Amino acid sequence: MEKQIEISNLKKSFGKNIILQDINLTISKGQSIALVGHNGCGKSTLLKILCGLTTYQKGTLKYTQKLKFNYVPENFPKLAITAREYIDNIGLIEGLSKEYVAKRSEELFHTFFMEEMVDNSIKNLSKGTMQKVSVIQAVLSKPDILLLDEPLSGQDVDSQKVFIDLINQMNEDGVTIVMSCHEDLLLRTVSKIIYEIKGRNIHLSDKIEMKERNYNVMIFRKKMQETGEVKSEIQIDEFNIKRMIAKLEKNGNDTKLYVKEENSDAVLRKMLNEGYELRGMHDESI
């Protein structure tokens, strides 16, 4: 595979706060890479480093050829011009012909179900529609590398499908995709390689393993009615749900249950029926 970017021993910090350290990464033409990790772990920063939008303190970043990057930022700005004006301008700035921009933008507005909104100010559009404008500007022309920072945020389900098809088509046409995302849908349907940023470093993750590592975490507590005493021990053996629980953690009077997504409904129902109070629920990787 033809190499496009080589990063060695790269370090990035904001003041004294080190975000990324000893990053080694090679990106080759036609790859589809997803960067995952907790919020603030440095995914967006790494995307910006790749395209030269931010500096780094140590290490080297080498482009093996002159590359054209298109970029979908996480938060598209609330501009005062209309979506049509913006896309027309961007196309011309990019050096595309007026006729091509007009034709291609009409197609894309239609594909993303936003024909009726093209003459509204971008600042008046919903977050999802703004994200569609952001995607349209990035796919107006064919880049060498397409950088996507949380590209699905706020988009409706139909537009998400359109987006995924479009990105996969571009990838088949030789465009390298590098994206930062949390959505399982994108990890399953677009990415072929997943890197996890953890502890300031980047680790190659197994795609199947990655998917299986997502759990619903439920925090339960049961209050005894008669005495007011808190029952801290959850009898998962008695409830016949032991096999559905991947991990159990005690934290004071609360009990954390790590449950795979497909079992979470059954566990939740059982626990509520047994009189336990659900104090919180979120997704987590273990």
Partner 1 sequence: MKVMSLGGCTMKAFSSLIKYHYQLYVKTNKYIMPALIWIVFLNLSYSQKPLDIVSSTLLSISVLFFVMLWVAISYMESVDPVSEQILLLKVKNRNTYYRSKNVFVFMLGTAYSLIGIAFPIMENAMNGFSMFTRPLTIWDILCAFILHMLTAILGGTLGILFQPRCIKNRKEALMIVSLIALISIAKTGINHSFLFAKYVTWLFPPLSDISTYFNENVYFSAAAMGKAILYCGVYSAILLFISNQLLKRKLF
Considering only 48-56, 182-190, 200-208, 215-223, which stretch makes contact with partner 1 by CB under 8 A?
48-56
Q: Which of 1, 18, 53, 266 binds partner 1 (CB under 8 A)?
A: 53
Query: Which residue from 48, 84, 132, 222 is in contact with partner 1, where contact means CB under 8 A?
Result: 48
Closest by CA position to 187, among listed 220, 170, 212: 212
Under rule CB under 8 A, residue 54 binds partner 1: yes
Nearest to 32 by CA among 181, 216, 212, 228: 181
Select from 123, 48, 138, 42 the least CA-distant residue to 90: 138
Residue from 20, 35, 71, 276 touching partner 1 (CB under 8 A): that is: 71
Mask: binding to partner 1, 214-253, rule CB under 8 A, as x and -?
----------------------------------------
Taking CB under 8 A as the rule, does residue 17 contact partner 1?
A: no
Say whether residue 80 binds partner 1 (CB under 8 A).
yes
| Footprint on residues 133-162 left by partner 1 (CB under 8 A) | 137
Q: Does residue 87 belong to the site contacting partner 1 (CB under 8 A)?
A: no
Residue 246 per-residue DSSP state: E
DSSP E strands, 15-116: 17-28, 32-36, 58-63, 69-72
| Contact between 85 and partner 1 per CB under 8 A | yes
Q: Centre a 10 Å sphere on the Cβ of residue 104 and count the other Cβ atoms it contains.
A: 17
Of 35-43, 76-84, 204-212, 222-230, the window that binds partner 1 (rule: CB under 8 A) is 76-84
- Choose one: 77-85, 103-111, 219-227, 266-274; the region binding partner 1 (CB under 8 A): 77-85
Give the Å distances, CA to CA, from 41 to 17, 23, 180, 197, 202: 11, 13, 11, 6, 10
Angstrom distances, CA of residue 239 to CA of 208, 234, 266, 274: 30, 9, 11, 8
Rounded to whole angstroms, what are the CA distances from 55 to 45, 60, 65, 67?
9, 11, 19, 18
Judged by the rule CB under 8 A, the positions of this chain that interact with partner 1 are 48, 51-55, 68-71, 73, 75-77, 79-81, 85, 89-90, 92-95, 121, 137
